[in-house]
Amino acid sequence: MSRGSSFARFAALALLLAAGSGDARAAEIDWTPLAEEDVVEILTVDPDGGPRETKVWVVVVGDAAYVRTNDSRWLANIRRDPLFRMRVRAREFALRAEETTERETIERVEAGFKAKYGFMQRVMSALRLREPTVLRLEAGQR
């Protein structure tokens, strides 16, 4: 895909997220441009009110986008307030995270991470002590 085409798809995602309401579901958004991003930044707020910026990998599986983590401060922040901001290419989007517990979905997401990130994903999987928490991204407001 050419850079111009990639940018156009990313711009379309930006418009959809900017126009999305708190009631929008992930299936209503074309997450395809995120499939081309290696790293995004999750922006949350710590309990003391301080900002937390965390770089994470992201995958698109089916009609939804997912991130994941082990026990982390940013996950604790998401559990306290599922509304957060995601930075992609210096643009920020208001999103909501929802924990995914369906085994089939988690397996598809894991396969997506392995396909996208290859060897590095396999190394990370070998080093982790337990299964990560998988978060489905949805449009949100803040």
Range of the domain at 95: 3-139
Number of domains in the chain: 1
Output the domain CATH number for residue 125: 2.30.110.10
Interval 30-49: pLDDT, tens: 898 888 999 999 999 999 99
Contacts for 125 with CB less than 8 Å, ≥ 6 apart: 110, 114
Interval 91-124: pLDDT, tens: 999 999 999 999 999 999 999 999 998 866 666 6
Query: What pTM value is reported for the model?
Result: 0.77
Closest Cα partner for 129 from 59, 78, 71?
71
